[in-house]
Amino acid sequence: MKLSILIPMYNAESYMDRCLNSILSQDLHEEDYEIIVMDDGSTDNCKSIVESFQKKHSNIRLYSKENEGESATRNRLFKHAKGDYLYCMDADDYVMPDTLSEVLERAISAKVDILAFDASVTSDSHEEIIKQESQIIEASIPMNGIDFFIKYPEHRVEVWWYFIRNDFRKEEDIWFGNRGFNEDVLFTIKAFIKAKRVVYFPMSVYRYFQSPNSVMRDTNKEKKARMIYNFHSMIVDVSNYLNHLSKNAVEEYHGVLKNLSRRRDTFLFFLILKMVRAEMSKSQMQQNINMLRSVGAYPIKNKIYSGNYSIKYAVLNYLVNREHLLYSAASAYRVFKRN
């Protein structure tokens, strides 16, 4: 088995058909790859959709369990995977036709721990999935994961941007944490820090679908609070890991620490904006910021949004880094929203 495609599924009946069809529209032999779906306690009809695909395709496996959340589900999927390489997808996303075979071929021929590629965001739920024109795409030379982060500082950290070698993940004992949302950030950082052979292959493979009902866009206050908690926890965990790397004082870490801290600071900047927009109380904001300060994440040390740094972001960054102004601005925002 060359490739295991791992999909956590929760109430995804609107997307599973498109997701599975996109995976099956690849120039891969069914005996060379498996599609493993783990149902995380869904209450809709998505299981039946997968079962209908199973009747036609022997390489699809479906497991079910009680709801535990995405990270725990991904860890369970790892235990079932038999492929030389692993690819973590989300159920509401999809891949472009006849792309995975070329990515897999590059990974196997270069004997990489991680092969990174490109993706794009779409909000079009009816986008026609068209096979891309054949073109010659050059891959980067193999490098270690630290050099990759330095050379490609803007490359995203979500797990659907890369294949990871199964034995490498097992040998390095890399798992998702149990916090929930955004756990792939720390997972990816750890994987790249430990990887000895990484190749970047700039083919656009993945389509990340942002629906109006996604977790990131949900207006439900309880869900917003949970998202902020998970986002905050992720930043704390990443900061603790960066502090661990810094204390080791290994020379090769020095170049990558600034890159990773800038990524962390960008997450932190947008977290604080989310706390303000969620109308979080001053006491709760103080508690969160004190925790961030205790792990060295606050105040923000790096310039945010370097690609499109504008006066707007300069002003916001100034406010975010000065607590008395931040709390005053948050209070004014709460009053404005309620009137």
Min mean pLDDT across 81-90, 99-108, 214-223 is at 214-223
Centre a 10 Å sphere on the Cβ of residue 89 and count the other Cβ atoms it contains: 21
Contact, 186 vs 177, CB < 8 A? Answer: yes
Give the pLDDT band of residue 289 (cuts 50, 70, 90): very high
Last residue of a domain, one of 176, 209, 242: 209
Check whether residue 148 and residue 262 sit in a common domain: no
* CATH code (residue 159): 3.90.550.10
Min mean pLDDT across 51-55, 99-103, 133-137, 298-302 is at 133-137
pLDDT of 249 strictly over 70: no
Give the pLDDT band of residue 216 (cuts 50, 70, 90): very low
Centre a 10 Å sphere on the Cβ of residue 90 and count the other Cβ atoms it contains: 20
Measured at the alpha carbon of residue 153, what is the angle toward residues 147 and 156, in degrees to the nearest 5? 110
Instruction: Name the domain count of the chain.
Output: 2
DSSP string, 237-271: HHHHHHHHHHHHT-HHHHHHHHHHHHHHHHHHHHH
Min mean pLDDT across 122-126, 246-250, 326-330 is at 122-126
User: pLDDT over 70 for what percent of the chain?
Assistant: 90
Check whether residue 187 and residue 68 sit in a common domain: yes
Mean pLDDT of the chain: 90
35 DSSP β-pair partners:
5, 60
The DSSP 8-state label assigned to residue 11 in this structure reads: S
Centre a 10 Å sphere on the Cβ of residue 130 and count the other Cβ atoms it contains: 8
Question: What is the average pLDDT across 174-199?
Answer: 90
Alpha-carbon span 226 to 69, nearest angstrom: 12
Strands 162-165 and 198-209: unpaired
Q: How high is the pLDDT of residue 214?
A: 52
Check whether residue 188 and residue 269 sit in a common domain: no
Q: How high is the pLDDT of residue 129?
A: 59
Give the pLDDT band of residue 128 (cuts 50, 70, 90): low
The residue behind tokens 């020095």 is 254
The residue behind tokens 């490359």 is 155
pLDDT of 215 strictly over 50: no
The DSSP 8-state label assigned to residue 279 in this structure reads: T
Give the pLDDT band of residue 221 (cuts 50, 70, 90): confident
Check whether residue 8 and residue 53 sit in a common domain: yes
Q: Which long-range contacts (CB under 8 A, 24 or more apart) does 210-217 make?
A: 210/121, 210/122, 210/123, 211/92, 211/123, 211/125, 214/92, 215/181
pLDDT of 219 strictly over 80: no
**Domain range holding 272?**
218-338
